Amino acid sequence: MAIRNLRSEAKIPPSEKIVVYRNSDPRVSDVAASTAAIASLARISLFENRAQFPATNSPTAVVGDARIMLYKEVDPAAERERLQKEVARLESQIAQTEGKLGNESFVQRAPVKVVEEFRVRLGEFRSTLAKLKEQQQKLTPRE
C-alpha cells in the first residue's frame, strides 16, 4: 500500500517498473518477509536493502520498522513543468472553491453537508498545493 501511495504521489503509472530501496534490518522487517511478493505485486524491478538512501528528492514512507523510498531518475526541467501545471490547476480550484464559500447566498442556501464538503475539499487542495510547492523548491536550481 505504501508503494502504491508513493507511486501516486510521484505520478508513476502502475505499469512502469521502478526501483525501491528500504532501510531496515532485513531479518526483522515486516517488509523483508514478503519481498518477492511485494516486488511482483508492486511491479518493482529491484527491491534493495540499503543503510543509506541515495541523496535525491524521491518520496519516502515508513512501513513497520522500515523506511522505503522510490528511486527514479527524473528530468528536472520536465518535472518542474509538470509541477507548475499541477500548481496552476490547484490554484484555480482553490480560487473557485473560495469563491463559492465566499458567496454568502451559496453558503446560506446550500445544504450544510454540501458546504462542509466544499470546506474539506478546500483544505485538501491547500494541503496538496503545499506539498507540490515543497517539491518545486527541491527542484529549483541553487545559485
Specify the CATH number for the domain of residue 101.
1.10.287
| Whether residue 105 is found in the same domain as residue 45 | no
Residue 85 pLDDT > 80, yes or no? Answer: yes
Which pLDDT belongs to residue 130? 93
| Whether residue 59 is found in the same domain as residue 90 | no
| Whether residue 6 is found in the same domain as residue 66 | yes
Model confidence pLDDT, tens digit, residues 30-65: 555 555 555 555 555 555 555 565 666 666 666 666
Give the max Cα distance, the chain. 61
The rounded distance, in Å, linking the Cα atoms of 7 and 3 is 6
| Whether residue 42 is found in the same domain as residue 22 | yes
Which residues constitute the domain of residue 133? 76-139
Number of residues in the chain:
143
Number of domains in the chain: 2
Instruction: State if pTM tops 0.85.
Output: no
| Whether residue 87 is found in the same domain as residue 120 | yes
| Whether residue 57 is found in the same domain as residue 41 | yes
| Whether residue 55 is found in the same domain as residue 82 | no
| Whether residue 64 is found in the same domain as residue 82 | no
